[in-house]
Amino acid sequence: MENHSLTKDKNGGELPNDVIIKRFPGTELADHAQKIFFRELKMLSNVKHDGIVRLHGFCVEGPEMILVIANISNGYLYNYLENLNSRRILTWEKRLKICIDVARTLSYLHYEMEDQKVIINHYISSWNIGLDENWKAKIVDFGFSLFLFPNQDDEAVFLEMFRFGNRDNRGFLPPNIDPEYVKARKLRRESDIYCFGVVFL
């Protein structure tokens, strides 16, 4: 992903300074990147919630694919949890607020969407929780997300996600994925709760 606070396009125009350019490489892992790009575009187009990063637009030109999303001015949760020497330390009050924000967003994805839609994110991690200027936590990555449908073929869904692999086709799953999902291969809301619990701890 490439972040730019101000970017000129090829026609000389400028993007506002409150957006992030999320670029999906169209070279060695073109098929992999394309699947994730269109999956994330579909998810962000379907969700409207203040706990989810706002999608401003997208562009596909040849092998190049980009999403334009709202800027995350205070960075990502990972930067604060992993960098113990950071001058910007999260207070317990901020940590609690972040947990509550993410919990409310998951509740929306799991139970409160229109038309009884359910989205399983599959990748709740400190890397994918952004913090805006007011320290509002926002989920920013939906590349591994899936709609939960009744009577769907869970095995096929699992294999499709697993095929989002690397060049030697070994496959890839998010590092903190619910082990019960890997074992049973049945899509469920509890998988997101497990990932959230890992972050919470």
Residues 61 and 89 in one domain: no
Last residue of a domain, one of 53, 70, 87: 70
Last residue of a domain, one of 47, 70, 93: 70
Domain-located, residue 65: yes
The residue range of the domain holding 51 is: 19-70
pLDDT for res 85: 55
pLDDT for res 157: 66
Residues 30 and 54 in one domain: yes
Residues 139 and 173 in one domain: yes
pLDDT for res 115: 83
State the CATH number of the domain containing residue 40: 3.30.200.20
Residues 53 and 32 in one domain: yes
Residues 121 and 185 in one domain: yes
- The model's pTM: 0.80
pLDDT for res 122: 83
Residues 120 and 60 in one domain: no
Domain-located, residue 9: no
pLDDT for res 181: 81
Residues 81 and 54 in one domain: no
Residues 64 and 87 in one domain: no
pLDDT for res 70: 92
Residues 82 and 57 in one domain: no
Residues 86 and 144 in one domain: yes
pLDDT for res 172: 59
State the CATH number of the domain containing residue 196: 1.10.510.10
Last residue of a domain, one of 6, 36, 70: 70
pLDDT in tens, 13-48: 556 667 888 888 766 556 777 878 888 999 999 888
Rounded distance, CA 46 to CA 31, Å?
A: 23
Residues of the chain predicted below pLDDT 70: 1-17, 26-30, 83-87, 152-154, 156-157, 159-174
pLDDT for res 11: 42
CA-to-CA separations, 186 to 148, 153, 155, in angstroms, rounded: 10, 9, 7
pLDDT for res 94: 93
Residues 143 and 189 in one domain: yes
Domain-located, residue 8: no
Domain-located, residue 161: yes
pLDDT for res 28: 55
pLDDT for res 12: 44
pLDDT for res 123: 82
pLDDT for res 167: 44
pLDDT for res 7: 43
pLDDT for res 160: 63
Residues 171 and 193 in one domain: yes
pLDDT for res 107: 97
User: How many structural domains is the chain composed of?
Assistant: 2
